[in-house]
Structure 1
């Protein structure tokens, strides 16, 4: 939510210009250069002082927002790098381009794009958050780099969520129904995973619906964020999460139904009981092989839903009545930390909640790497390199019956 200070002052209502602006306010250069005829930005300036961009930072302890987002930026960079390592490994190593391994490959690629969207913000977030005058917040109309990052972030966020939801669907189909339905319809996965996210990003660019809201990155504006980001995320992730719960409910049910009769030869069992035992073994084998995908889906779906909840809860804080008392506190000698603690707390996004949600979504690539860059993958790298050195590039092949399952 973009926060505007209350005194929409103009030269006609300002009785006397302010000669010295108390921190966090800064002098309005346009006001002084035009002898009080104009403000740099009527929404954030008045009587010769402006609340600088990003305005939200002014309502917390000085510097704490920048330090918090600097940490999450580092996490995003690490996540992007590790996810890229995993993606390159899946591209190069044998059998990783086949279903379902390629689902993790595409999820890793989407995560790289999502995490790397922070790159334009590194070192100087204000070049993304603000217009050139240092006061007006960035939008598609005044900051091209903000538009680029916002479209990039929208595409990466929706694509990452889509591909991890596809992993959930595939896990459900294989574990519960022993079906390779999704493997036969790869085109559908690419439509959901790439084309739909690209369409939302394109709509945001064409309609100029990108700008800075609260974080150190540009995304969909406050008015359009539900339609362009949170509703698509919800439509994708909520059903996938419910499906994931159904998958684990089925696993628990099958496990509890385990009976000692498994040790009895199939010749003495009814066909129904034999089928149930066979299905249980299939489920247990699927979990043994695909537990990493299950854990990743659980972590990411929880992160996305918490991120969504943060913006639904914090974005609903639209009461600005506190601004006049906060401003009075500042102009009567109060410090930024003191006035923010007394008058802004509860009306601006909670710092801890904000950092937790940003931190969780910033570690997606890290989780993908930790779960899937396992010892067997390192061994495959050694075999791959050895094959090129000693055997002219011959690659070992996994047994055909395992190719569908191992990811």
Structure 2
């Protein structure tokens, strides 16, 4: 009877709790007087008190910020008309995946550690079978990461095909490209769901079980990451080789390379960030998770030494005083937090790359805070687009813009002063507005009916990408000085240029361009 009362009065030392279940638990130990178990999550007790809570709070804040950025990018590419193009839809798919990935953290609220980390008994780690929230969060996380990476691969393929091969073949089969990305992502996400291989990870995320994570998660994604990396290298090598081969001078070559960097840095940085986030998560997952899950058993020597220390202290200060025993065997929180933060903040990094001044101007136009600017669509459509101009004297940006109108040419040929014949295969550009100059004397107004620029259309029905001619005025591309024809001179020819005052025209066309490296096409949608 005395022995029975002694057993009933036994209390497990802090932080252990008395084992009340009937199934084996790797966190339970046979101690003198009874069986005791480490509460879930077990990793908390191997670190200084409160440190894990601070890290989890930081993760939640980062996830919330990244989720908000992903939602903003999604909204931008859904609502703004100028973003609804092939490349824009690829970016949209990528950020929908990012929103799923970062938004999965919201399921862990209000108690990140208990909600998705533990089963109902408070001892067992959560998995697909014992925690519904963990199952939902893990599915969102896996699907979101797959969509991010496979969409990034499609963006890189599109960039490579446009720049190197000058082909629009992927754009012609855009529906097939979108469908392939979604089907691959959903198919890979369904595999762990069918196999019920979702379980809690250190922190407050549920993902693929460590036993099969390489086979059904990391290995398939490594195909996308490797493809992105190889295409980056191939595209860069092609640009370097071609520019060096046809360059007529070191100065011109350097100028062309700088131009390529200015035009291609957004898609390059976008896909590079996806790779960096993936590698950071992979390293943290593989180096940290196994140390916690696979070694918290009574057979592990340092665990037995830690338990003995807890029994010796036998107070609430036990974990703090015995933490030095566990420190060499558990992952350092500093490195783990840095690696995980890179993956979490991918939404912020994407936003810094994608949110350009052009997008902000389009938002102002959409909300009615700025005058809309029409877009160039086709040389034969007769639509307008705007060309920013600046005062030629001080390089400051003018307060107005020239609407340059594409007008269909007359079908009948016109002979003009012994010059070449204009036919229907040519399109003329007319100026029809005034320049707001900062000079003391106001400039004259160009005549709206005088043809200024004549350009030949070599391909029927050719379409421009979203054309925004708005380089900073301090870097003019074309300098047009005034032409003063003598009194009584005949009318200006259509292939001549005339302005009433010197102006700088800033032109950056996102269509075909020509440089020392041959012709290339700036990717649409950036």
Encode CA deviations 1:171-221: one digit per residue, 9 max, x unaligned. Answer: 222222222232233244324422222122222222211111322111111
Determine which of 230, 246, 266 is the counterpart of 2:234. Answer: 246
User: What displacement does 1:307 show?
Assistant: 1.5
Q: Tell me which residue corresponds to 1:405.
A: 524
2:15–2:39: 8 Å Cα contact kept in structure 1? yes
Determine which of 96, 102, 106 is the counterpart of 2:89. Answer: 102
- Measured in 2, the distance between the counterparts of 1:42 and 1:308 equals 28
1:228-239 → structure 2 map (5 Å cutoff): 228-239=216-227
Q: Tell me which residue corresponds to 2:60.
A: 73
Q: Tell me which residue corresponds to 1:259.
A: 247
Encode CA deviations 1:338-367: one digit per residue, 9 max, x unaligned. Answer: 42332x234333322221121011111111
Determine which of 83, 89, 96 is the counterpart of 2:76. Answer: 89
- Measured in 2, the distance between the counterparts of 1:161 and 1:293 equals 14
Report the 3-state secondary structure (helix = DSSP H, G, I; strand = E; otherwise coil) of the residue aligned with 1:118. helix
1:324-363 → structure 2 map (5 Å cutoff): 324-333=304-313, 335-342=318-325, 344-363=326-345
- Measured in 2, the distance between the counterparts of 1:352 and 1:361 equals 15
- Measured in 2, the distance between the counterparts of 1:290 and 1:184 equals 22
1:365-380 → structure 2 map (5 Å cutoff): 365-380=347-362
Distance 1:168-1:350 versus aligned 2 partners, 3 A rule: farther
Q: Tell me which residue corresponds to 1:190.
A: 178
Distance 1:325-1:189 versus aligned 2 partners, 3 A rule: farther
Encode CA deviations 1:366-392: one digit per residue, 9 max, x unaligned. Answer: 1121111221111112223339x99xx
Give me the TM-score of the superposition, normalised by structure 2: 0.63
Distance 1:384-1:50 versus aligned 2 partners, 3 A rule: same
User: What displacement does 1:150 show?
Assistant: 0.7
Q: Tell me how many residue pairs correspond in the alignment.
A: 365
- Measured in 1, the distance between the counterparts of 2:8 and 2:164 equals 72
Q: Tell me which residue corresponds to 1:51.
A: 38
Report the 3-state secondary structure (helix = DSSP H, G, I; strand = E; otherwise coil) of the residue aligned with 2:82. coil
Structure 2 residue 10 is matched with structure 1 residue 22: no
Encode CA deviations 1:51-88: one digit per residue, 9 max, x unaligned. Answer: 01111222111221222122122111111111111211
Encode CA deviations 1:218-265: one digit per residue, 9 max, x unaligned. Answer: 11111122222211221211221222233233334445557335999x
Report the 3-state secondary structure (helix = DSSP H, G, I; strand = E; otherwise coil) of the residue aligned with 1:332. helix
Determine which of 255, 272, 278 is the counterpart of 1:304. Answer: 278
2:87–2:524: 8 Å Cα contact kept in structure 1? yes
Whichever of the two has the greater Rg, that structure is 2
Structure 2 residue 113 is matched with structure 1 residue 130: no
Report which structure shows greater RCO (CA 8 Å, sep ≥6).
Answer: 1
Q: Tell me which residue corresponds to 1:7.
A: none
User: Which of the pair is proportionally richer in strand?
Assistant: 2
Encode CA deviations 1:128-169: one digit per residue, 9 max, x unaligned. Answer: 111011111111111111111111111011111111222222
- Measured in 2, the distance between the counterparts of 1:338 and 1:177 equals 65
Q: Tell me which residue corresponds to 2:162.
A: 174
- Measured in 2, the distance between the counterparts of 1:24 and 1:257 equals 70
User: Which of the pair is proportionally richer in helix?
Assistant: 1
Give me the TM-score of the superposition, normalised by structure 1: 0.80
Determine which of 144, 155, 161 is the counterpart of 2:149. Answer: 161
Structure 2 residue 178 is matched with structure 1 residue 200: no
- Measured in 1, the distance between the counterparts of 2:261 and 2:232 equals 13
Distance 1:208-1:242 versus aligned 2 partners, 3 A rule: same
Distance 1:339-1:256 versus aligned 2 partners, 3 A rule: farther
Unpaired segments ≥5 residues, structure 1: 1-14, 31-37, 265-276
User: What displacement does 1:316 show?
Assistant: 5.3
Unpaired segments ≥5 residues, structure 2: 1-5, 378-462, 467-522
1:162–1:192: 8 Å Cα contact kept in structure 2? no
Distance 1:262-1:117 versus aligned 2 partners, 3 A rule: same
